């Protein structure tokens, strides 16, 4: 080391910190017509011309349904301590009603057994957007009955896996399910009705509450029940009263609409007033808010990039740069007078700005919002244009830098007093990226979609070393091979 160099203090995490990776069923499983599975809204949406890039579907995806043993072995080789995956509702309960299909449940039983045998903790997400199509045909999430159907489904899965799975998440990103699915239409089921989107948000909240009760009725008391939220880190473009009001509007629509009732038993009054031109909220029945406000054991947070807003110029017709796909319809009900801005600086292949400070800000917000409730980062990661080199290896230094910066932000939040107990990288594998099809690669493991060959990228090796040692390696140490001792 040169005399002038200053030694870098290692960034070390608490010994019990959980190092994991995450996926979702429709994005990786494939096998959409096997063992009794029936279509979900994403099957229908992806098979509708013009809805996904290149007409891509999840019919095969990365064939995890048949290759799960190899994928678990890969996780073990990397040294991961946990794996967050979702259950395909139409694989378990094909019509969204009635008894389970045991062949569908058996797949998840086998997956859980394989994970436990490898020393990897399974974390189950019950709903990652693949609503059975028959329930959408009956009205979908804007209909109250869907919340009751979800509770029935939660009980089925809890009974099947609750003896071996300790970490449970009811819903993943209900904001996306409600507002991208029913307001902007860029996600399944592709509807564009802002009033329906607000009803969907309430019924997703109700589903969380009912599902939490259902899970606890059939599982050991030691099990943890949580929800994954993707509350925006909203920053006003300026400190003007108009820009601050715009930021409050978007913060209510992205966060308050969910954590208000879940944590505090009430929707923000400012949200109710702002959305009054769209809905009267009469679907919130007596007792709903108490049902939604169930005690939860953890809060899971998904973060990718901050959101910058201002009051819209009345003469401006600029496209809405909110990072949630192109649509003539806004995912933000009653917020047409809010403008979205791209921050300067580095961006990922999604066009999202890279800003680890936003993750620290989000963690500290929920540390204040829900004191005493542990936090997990259930998704964090980035898409880049990854390609194999001549030797077949895949080097992704941008992703390594992204992960290093965001994990340092997590460690700083812990130092600042936040009870953050784990981190799940999004995603384990390159996969079907919803309406973007296979164009965007979020995986730490490269997948050749033609051959289904898996190749760990530099970021996977770097992250695996962090998981084995509990310390962030230097970003240029990404090439450490599998199986090396944790030193």
Catalytic residues: 173, 379
Torsion angle in degrees (nearest 10) through CA of 383, 384, 389, 395: -80
Q: Looking up tokens 């208000």, which residue turns up?
A: 260
Give the CA angle between residues 265, 268, 271 to the nearest 5°.
140
CA distance linking residue 151 with residue 206, whole number of Å: 9
For helices 194-218 and 145-161, angle between their N-to-C axes, nearest 10 degrees:
30
**Tokens describing residue 443:** 């995986």
Report the relative pairing of strands 121-127 and 82-86 from DSSP bridges: parallel
Burial of 179 (0-12, 13-18, 19+ CB in 10 A): buried
292 Cβ neighbours under 8 A, 6+ residues apart? 205, 206, 208, 209, 261, 262, 265
**Helix, strand, coil percent values for the chain (each to nearest 5):** 40, 15, 45
Among positive and negative, which fits the CA dihedral 49, 31, 125, 232?
A: negative
Provide the 10 A C-beta neighbour count for residue 7: 6
**CA distance linking residue 324 with residue 103, whole number of Å:** 36
Dihedrals φ, ψ of 267, to 5°?
A: -80, 145
Q: Are 218 and 158 in contact (CB under 8 A)?
A: yes
Residue from 370, 372, 425, 418 nearest 402 by CA: 425
């Amino acid at each position: 080391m040169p005399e002038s160099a200053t030694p870098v203090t290692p960034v070390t995490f608490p010994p019990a910190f959980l190092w994991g990776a995450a996926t979702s069923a429709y994005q990786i499983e494939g096998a959409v017509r096997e063992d009794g599975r029936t279509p979900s809204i994403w099957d229908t949406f992806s098979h509708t011309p013009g809805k996904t890039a290149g007409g891509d579907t999840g019919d095969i995806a990365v064939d995890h349904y048949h290759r799960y043993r190899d994928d678990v072995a890969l996780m073990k080789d990397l040294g991961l301590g946990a794996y967050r995956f979702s259950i395909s509702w139409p694989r378990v309960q094909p019509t969204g009603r009635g008894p389970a299909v045991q062949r569908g449940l058996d797949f998840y039983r086998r997956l859980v057994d394989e994970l436990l045998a490898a020393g990897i903790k399974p974390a189950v997400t019950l709903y990652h957007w693949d609503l059975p199509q028959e329930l959408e045909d009956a009205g979908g999430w804007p209909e109250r009955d869907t919340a009751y159907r979800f509770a029935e489904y939660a009980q089925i899965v809890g009974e099947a896996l609750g003896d071996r799975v300790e970490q449970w998440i009811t819903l993943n990103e209900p904001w996306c399910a409600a507002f991208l699915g029913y307001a902007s239409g860029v996600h399944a089921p592709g509807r564009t009705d802002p009033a329906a989107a607000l009803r969907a948000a309430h019924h997703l909240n109700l589903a969380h509450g009912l599902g939490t009760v259902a899970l606890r009725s059939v599982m050991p008391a030691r099990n943890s029940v949580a929800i994954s939220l993707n509350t925006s880190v909203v920053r006003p473009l300026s400190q003007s009263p108009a820009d601050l009001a715009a930021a409050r509007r978007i913060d209510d629509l992205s966060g308050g609409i969910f954590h208000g009732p879940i944590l505090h038993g009430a929707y923000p009054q400012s949200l109710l007033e702002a959305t009054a031109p769209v809905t009267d909220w009469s679907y919130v029945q007596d007792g709903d808010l108490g049902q939604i406000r169930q005690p939860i054991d953890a809060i899971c947070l998904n973060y990718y990039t901050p959101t910058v807003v201002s009051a819209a110029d009345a003469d401006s017709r600029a496209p809405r740069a909110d990072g949630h796909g192109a649509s003539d319809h806004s995912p933000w009900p009653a917020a047409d007078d809010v403008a979205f801005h791209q921050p300067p600086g580095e961006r990922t292949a999604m066009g999202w700005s890279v800003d680890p400070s936003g993750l620290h800000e989000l963690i500290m917000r929920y540390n204040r919002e829900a004191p005493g409730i542990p936090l997990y980062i259930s998704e964090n990661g980035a898409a880049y244009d990854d390609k194999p080199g001549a030797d077949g290896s895949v080097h992704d230094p941008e992703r390594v830098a992204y992960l290093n910066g965001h994990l340092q932000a997590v460690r700083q939040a812990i130092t600042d007093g936040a009870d953050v107990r784990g981190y799940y990288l999004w995603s384990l594998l390159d996969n079907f990226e919803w309406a973007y099809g296979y164009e965007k690669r979020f995986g730490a493991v490269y997948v050749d979609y033609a051959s289904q060959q898996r190749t760990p990228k530099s970021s996977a090796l770097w992250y695996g070393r962090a998981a084995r040692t509990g310390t962030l390696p230097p970003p240029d140490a990404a090439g450490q091979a599998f199986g090396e001792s944790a030193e």
